[in-house]
Amino acid sequence: MNVVRSIVSSGGGRAKLINVFPWVTSPLIVGAPMRVMSGPHLALAVSKAGGLGFIGPGAKPEDTGTDLKTVRELLKSATGTSFSGWSQNGEKLPVGVGFQLWNGDLDSAAKAVKEHQPCAAWLFAPRRGQEELDDWTARLRAVSPGIHIWIQVGTLKESVEAANSAHRPDVLVIQGAEAGGHGRATDGMGIMALFPEVADQVRDSGMLLIAAGGIADGRGIAAALALGANGVAMGTRFLASTEARISKGYQEEVVRATDGAQSTTKTMLYNHLRGTVGWPQQYSPRGIVNKSWQDHQAGVPFEELKKLHDEAAKSGDEGWGPDGRLATYAGAAIGLVHSVEDADIIVKRSQNEAVAIIKNLQNDL
């Protein structure tokens, strides 16, 4: 197993991503498509900073089209940036879009992609595995030739299936168990062990590899690159961005919480309290624990928790926090997030940190 050779070849991969997305700067930071919270303002801000922002799935399938339209409008006023004039020249939009397949609507997705031409589509959580990913990939490529297809995986099996598919994606997003929001329920693993094993198994596929989960600053970025990633996706860090489409109470809790191992957990409880049902059983979300979880652990019946949850939901921003009861999906790296900042600052500082770390490592050798 020639590990070094694989790293050299992934260096070539990084160059390829820069060819596909000419505005991105190295190391590549991707804004993950967090449902609702990654809206058009956040996605475009990440791209403007030299990253690649993804819009998350909306509350309704039609919201994706609305959000992409907003990006198009925002671009009209993007004078003085690398995107000035972008919307006029027929190129694809400099943001991607995420789809949650199990409850998504392919017709609606294809319509939005065809009309607005996002540069990439990130597919996640199929009910029927690779077959369903293939359906989406084929359809989106048909309506938008050249669209970059990204597939998010959390297991070796999914990775190999994607690599072997006739509708192989361009990019595999390998998500470690540290990640916030929905990931693998019981068969996930920390990115330190998961990423290299997946990379070895899909090496010959030509797919580019993005690492996700537990990455919130330049240290995680440099570490992911060392593992062989072509770039990283960050979610939780962007929850604490000015541009995130997020309630203030939720965002403040992301900033407040520390000790990600202790204060986050994977559970379906919050989904069920919110009335979200139907996620395929292989997925479960990570979130910050609060009174709902503590009471659940103490044996309080679900009906009572639901009543208290729904009351909390009416209390606005008070509903979040250690004494709150609302779902606060976030990753295990919350302890590295200390303030709300502009996405631009987050991207550029994280890149600079990663670059400085790599230079220091080189000097230390």
Q: Which residues of the chain form contacts with a second copy (CB under 8 A)?
A: 1, 3-4, 7-8, 11, 14, 26, 155-157, 176-178, 184, 187-194, 196-197, 200, 213-220, 222-228, 258-262, 331-333, 335-336, 338, 352-353, 355-365
- Shortest Cβ 274–a second copy spacing (Å): 25
Torsional sign, CA 94, 169, 37, 288: negative
Nearest-angstrom CA–CA distance, 347 and 365: 28
CB of 230 vs a second copy, minimal distance in Å: 10
| Residue 31 or 176 having the CB closest to a second copy | 176
**225 is written with which tokens?**
């690159």
User: CB 228 → a second copy: shortest distance, Å?
Assistant: 6
CB of 216 to a second copy, least distance (A): 8
CB atoms within 10 A of CB 311: 11
Question: Smallest distance, Å, CB 335 to a second copy?
Answer: 4
H-assigned helices in 121-247: 130-143, 156-164, 191-202, 218-227, 236-239
Q: Which residue, 56 or 260, is less far from a second copy as judged by CB? A: 260
Q: Which residues contact 332 (CB under 8 A, 6 or more apart)?
A: 178, 179, 180, 213, 214, 260, 261, 264, 286
Choose between 73 and 197: whose C-beta lies nearer to a second copy. Answer: 197
* Backbone torsion region of residue 246, taken as left when φ is above 0, otherwise alpha when ψ lies between -120 and 50, otherwise beta: beta
CB of 189 to a second copy, least distance (A): 3
> Of 89 and 339, which CB lies nearer to a second copy in the complex structure?
339
Q: Which two tokens stand for residue 241?
A: 């961005």
Task: Return the ∠ at Cα 64 (arms to 59 and 69), rounded to 5°.
Answer: 135
- Sign of the alpha-carbon torsion through 352, 48, 54, 153: negative
DSSP string, 239-266: HTBTT----HHHHHHHHH---HHHHEEE
Residue 120's nearest CA partner among 90, 99, 100, 135 is 99
CB 283 to a second copy: min, Å:
15
> What's the CA angle centered on 119, arms 118 and 124, to 5 degrees?
80
Q: Which is nearer to a second copy, 19 or 363 (CB)?
A: 363
- Least distance in angstroms from the C-beta of 214 to a second copy: 4
Q: Judged by CB, which is closer to a second copy: 105, or 353?
A: 353
- Nearer to a second copy (CB atom), residue 137 or residue 263: 263
The three-state secondary structure class of 338 is coil
Q: Are 214 and 178 in contact (CB under 8 A)?
A: yes
Contact 119, 76 (CB under 8 A): no
What are the residues facing 150 on neighbouring strands?
Answer: 122, 171
Tokens found for residue 151? 């597939």
Please state the closest distance from residue 15 (CB atom) to a second copy, in A. Answer: 8
For a second copy, which is the closer residue by CB, 27 or 33? 27
Rounded to a whole number of angstroms, the minimum distance from the CB of residue 231 to a second copy is 11
Closer CB to a second copy, 95 or 225, in the complex: 225
Toward a second copy, which CB reaches closer, 88 or 363? 363
